[in-house]
Amino acid sequence: MRADCQAVEDAVSFLRRLVQGHLDIVRFEQERRAAGQPADLAALVAGLPKSLSQHVVGGSVGRLPGLPAPADPGLTDELDAVCDVARLAHLPDLSEDELAGLATELSRLEDLVSARRHVVFGRLDALAAELTRRYRTGAASVDALLVEKTGTTATVLKSPGPEDG
């Protein structure tokens, strides 16, 4: 259950970052326009590296660097319904009101995905607490887990002692 829950957390975190990235791009376009710059796709694209790296902490690319995108093709359906890649590519063509509306929709989606992520974290915490309780009370043992996972006996996994030569 814990591994399944962790996979869900990875997927939700991936989606959350995608939503945040879309929102960063929309806000960047709003800032460009507020600064008096004309709507221009080339200028928007040129500013993406700086815009998208503003929220990266400590030079990290995330909690799990190199983690591939989750395999669920429907994972981004909600995001695509708000702002798919085609719409994102046409941000310079949107009016100020359309851009503001898109930012609002993306913010709402980010809040929704963050709330889901919070629920998953709560479940992960509950599962971790239950595992801790089971190991402390003897209701579960690491040796039994190793036997179940590997199919070998726990004695094979112990460190060699002086009697083992």
Its pTM stands at 0.72
CA-only gyration radius of the chain, Å:
23
114: amino acid identity, one letter = S
Tell the burial category of 133 from Cβ atoms under 10 Å away from its Cβ (0-12, 13-18, 19+). exposed
Single out the residue of 102, 106, 125, 124 nearest to residue 114, CA to CA: 106
pLDDT tens string for the chain (165 positions)?
888 888 889 999 999 999 999 999 999 999 999 999 888 888 888 888 888 777 665 544 444 455 556 667 788 899 999 999 899 889 999 999 999 999 999 999 999 999 999 999 999 999 989 888 888 888 877 776 666 555 554 443 344 444 444
Q: How wide is the angle at C-alpha 54 spanned by C-alphas 106 and 12, nearest 5°? A: 45
**41-53 and 2-34 helices cross at what angle (nearest 10)?**
130
Q: Where are the domains of the chain?
A: 2-157
